[in-house]
């Protein structure tokens, strides 16, 4: 039984991590932490767990942690996380970190986009980017996994076969994506107040979204050469899901059937990536760890559509998939 601590358990990714571990046959929750003002019985913080989880969410006490847990799912926000991860590693835990703090290998890029000095450059090189479909072997032995951002997960799975095969112009990628509102976190705000967001749709983060350099870095690693991505996110009136519609310029001729075959072959062994013969829907993946993809040729471009649940394959589900891999378990445990 893998003993799981969730650090920063009081937000949406904490809740989905709890939900998944409760269904996991070979892992159990042992320790849940949050800021003091967000602590309390799990069933009070999250009424959906009433009668399902008897734990308390408590302020983090590192002294308790050693020997108590095997792995930490670290759901802290960007910038905060790198203050905690070194201590979690020192306490002997494996760490799957949900923040961006260990995703960007280039400290300068991190510091430019996150406007803060990186304070844990010692552990940064050890961190493995936790996209199992592309980096499974490195994840196996890792102590520290940087769980990918939600948008990069959807985008990278969608373009990886094209990048790997060198089929597209590497500076031609446009990622037009729409997220559900759980992606904005649980703190109330004017933009996401129900009467503002309901029946609404709008773009945000124009030219400035922090997932852009993350996508470009990993896409470059996959391609073996620099990749440029214009990433434009939007917020849509639904809870869960990201639909990425990605436009690329093919190098040569391409047709939809060949693309379908390429994608099916590329992901043939992957449990959580499914290639469709038509456009995916966010509702079909909501609540699951699956990514649905369809690629088509349209008017001389390749258009790839991918759908994931931003909280599952885009966060908690992928983290637990990574945890399963680290511990040599069946990768699908808790995620069926």
Q: Which of residues 11-50 bind a copy of itself (CB under 8 A)?
A: 12, 22-23, 25, 47-48, 50
Among 187, 252, 269, 328, binds a copy of itself (CB under 8 A): 187
Q: Which stretch binds a copy of itself (CB under 8 A): 26-34, 103-111, 156-164, 273-281?
A: 273-281
Decide if 257 contacts 264 (C-beta within 8 A). Answer: no
Element housing 42 (H / E):
helix 42-45
b (16+ CB within 10 A) / e for 287-303: bbbbbbbbbbbeeebbb
Decide if 176 contacts 233 (C-beta within 8 A). Answer: no
Is residue 150 part of the annotated active site? The answer reads yes
41 burial level (CB within 10 Å; 0-12, 13-18, 19+):
middle
Find the catalytic residue in 39, 53, 75, 150.
150
Among 1, 59, 204, 330, binds a copy of itself (CB under 8 A): 204
Q: Which stretch binds a copy of itself (CB under 8 A): 32-40, 56-64, 133-141, 178-186?
A: 178-186
Q: Does 280 bind a copy of itself (CB under 8 A)?
A: yes
Which residue, 61 or 199, has its beta carbon nearer to a copy of itself?
A: 199
Q: Does 264 bind a copy of itself (CB under 8 A)?
A: no
Among 29, 73, 305, 318, binds a copy of itself (CB under 8 A): 305
Closest listed residue to residue 120, CA positions, set 175, 80, 64, 171 = 80
Q: Does 181 bind a copy of itself (CB under 8 A)?
A: yes
CB of 234 to a copy of itself, least distance (A): 7
Q: Does 292 bind a copy of itself (CB under 8 A)?
A: yes
CB of 260 to a copy of itself, least distance (A): 13
Element housing 323 (H / E):
helix 317-326
Q: How far is CA 149 from the centre of its chain?
A: 4
Name the token pair of 214.
């993350």
Q: Catalogue the active-site residues.
A: 150
């Amino acid at each position: 039984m893998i003993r799981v601590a969730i650090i920063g358990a009081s937000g949406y990714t904490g809740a989905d991590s709890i939900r998944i571990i409760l269904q996991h046959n070979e892992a159990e929750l042992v320790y849940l932490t949050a800021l003091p003002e967000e602590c309390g019985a799990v069933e009070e913080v999250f009424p959906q767990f009433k009668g399902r989880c008897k734990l308390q969410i408590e302020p983090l006490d590192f002294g308790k942690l050693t020997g108590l847990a095997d792995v930490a799912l670290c759901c802290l926000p960007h910038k905060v996380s790198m203050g905690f991860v070194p201590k979690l590693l020192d306490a002997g835990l494996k760490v799957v970190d949900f923040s961006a703090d260990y995703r960007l290998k280039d400290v300068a890029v991190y510091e430019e986009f996150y406007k803060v000095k990186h304070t844990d450059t010692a552990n940064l090189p050890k961190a493995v980017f936790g996209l199992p479909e592309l980096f499974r072997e490195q994840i196996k032995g890792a102590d520290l996994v940087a769980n990918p951002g939600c948008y990069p997960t959807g985008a990278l799975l969608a373009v990886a076969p094209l990048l790997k095969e060198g089929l597209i112009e590497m500076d031609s990628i446009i990622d037009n994506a729409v997220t559900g509102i759980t992606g904005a976190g649980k703190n109330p705000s004017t933009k996401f107040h129900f009467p503002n967001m309901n029946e609404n749709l709008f773009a945000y983060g124009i030219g400035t979204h922090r997932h852009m350099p993350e996508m470009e870095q990993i896409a470059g690693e996959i391609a073996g050469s620099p990749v440029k991505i214009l990433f434009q996110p939007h917020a849509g009136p639904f809870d869960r899901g990201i639909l990425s519609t990605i436009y690329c310029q093919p190098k040569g001729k391409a047709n939809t059937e060949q693309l379908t075959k390429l994608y099916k072959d590329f992901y043939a062994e992957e449990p959580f990536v499914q290639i469709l013969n038509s456009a995916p829907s966010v509702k079909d993946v909501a609540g699951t760890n699956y990514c649905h993809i369809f690629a088509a040729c349209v008017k001389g471009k390749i258009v790839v559509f991918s759908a994931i649940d931003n909280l599952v394959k885009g966060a908690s589900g992928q983290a637990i998939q990574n945890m399963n891999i680290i511990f040599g378990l069946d990768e699908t445990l808790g995620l069926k």
